[in-house]
Structure 1
Amino acid sequence: MSLAPPFTEESARTKVKKAQDLWNTKNPKVIAQAYTPDSIWRNRSSFIVGTAAIEDLLTKKWEKEQNYRLRKELFAFSGDKIAVQFWYEYQDAHDGLKWKRCYGLEDWTFAEDGKMRKRQMSGNDIDISEAERWFKDGIDVNTVEISEAHW
């Protein structure tokens, strides 16, 4: 199955899960290679262009967001675009290692070769307790039941 556009529902779902698995490696150098050299990003309030800037942003992200675990789900797709809903949990190194969960949405646009050429991300963080965590060690993020209240 091709993971380049135009997407089918099956290829879009597979692309989302491959992105999820790639981001869960927390390896900025490898992750940046999934994007075009001139990829345009809006990540929260940061606006960046290019794989070097992506690698730098992700390096700083995971210096702050320790014990990061992510889940992405397909929201919608058409042609060369995919929309994703995601949740991730982390300990905030800039806030006393408090546990937090980010709720967010992304829209992605792909080049013909399947690399992402544009990523727009919006996310909101909330404080959570240890007991409220979903993605604990040893838990497959894909099997966690996430209720409609969180979708």
Structure 2
Amino acid sequence: MEPRPPLPPFTNVTAVQKARAAEDAWNTQDPYRVSLAYTPESEWRNRNKFIAGREQIVEFLTQKWARETEYRLIKEVWAHTDNRIAVRFVYEWRDVEGQWFRSFGNENWEFDTFGLMQRRLAAINDVAIADADRLFHWPMGPRPVAHPGLTELGI
């Protein structure tokens, strides 16, 4: 397998780099691209779903982004150690009926020695919001470098 830097053990700098790389990939809404950051047998818990392996990751993300349109995500490192990173995240999205949501969550990540995520545990809560209450307005794709993060936005 090809290493996917930064590699564990993580420092504060490399944990932030890893989280931003994940955020950027998820903001592409390309399920295959996102799946490559995970081991072939990666295990996920996402809300009430249990997912195993890249094929199921691609299937899950394809269905997710068919339901959650205009998806924009920000991740922020909460804590890290050796081969683990905990992040908090917020994303905004619109459902197929046009209702906007802000989803708040926490993820626990565990990486192998190649820097691939072998385990992802996510807890997420959704809150309906008005279009006027949206905070994430950048064009679809990765968040611009100058766009504030969660702490700067007061979230």
Tell me the TM-score normalized by structure 2: 0.89
Q: Does 1:41 align with 2:44?
A: yes
Partner AA of 2:133 in structure 1: E
Partner AA of 2:127 in structure 1: I
Q: Count the aligned residue pairs.
A: 145
Deviations along 1:74-109, whole A, 9 cap, x unmatched?
00000000000000000012xx12000000000000
Single out whichever of 137-146 and 9-18 deviates more from structure 2.
Answer: 137-146
Deviations along 1:15-71, whole A, 9 cap, x unmatched?
000100010000001110110000000011000100000000000000000000000
Q: Which blocks of at least 5 consecutive residues in structure 1 are unaligned?
A: none
Partner AA of 1:124 in structure 2: N
Q: Structure 2 CA distance, aligned partners of 1:135 and 1:119?
A: 24
Q: Structure 1 CA distance, aligned partners of 2:132 and 2:26?
A: 24
Pairwise CA RMSD: 1.4
Residue 146 (structure 1) aligned to one of 132, 140, 153: 153
User: Percent identity of the aligned residues?
Assistant: 41
- 2:34 is matched with 31
Partner AA of 1:114 in structure 2: G
- 1:16 is matched with 19
Q: Does 1:113 align with 2:114?
A: yes
Tell me the TM-score normalized by structure 1: 0.92
Give structure 1 regions of 4+ aligned residues with deviation exceeding 4 angstroms: none
Q: Which has the higher contact order (CA 8 A, sep 6+)?
A: 2
- 2:103 is matched with 102
- 1:75 is matched with 78
Partner AA of 1:72 in structure 2: K
Q: CA deviation at 1:146?
A: 2.1
Q: Structure 2 CA distance, aligned partners of 1:114 and 1:65?
A: 28
Q: CA deviation at 1:131?
A: 1.1
Q: Does 1:66 align with 2:73?
A: no
Q: Does 1:135 align with 2:140?
A: no
Q: Structure 2 CA distance, aligned partners of 1:34 and 1:5?
A: 14
Q: Which blocks of at least 5 consecutive residues in structure 2 are unaligned?
A: none
Q: CA deviation at 1:137?
A: 3.5
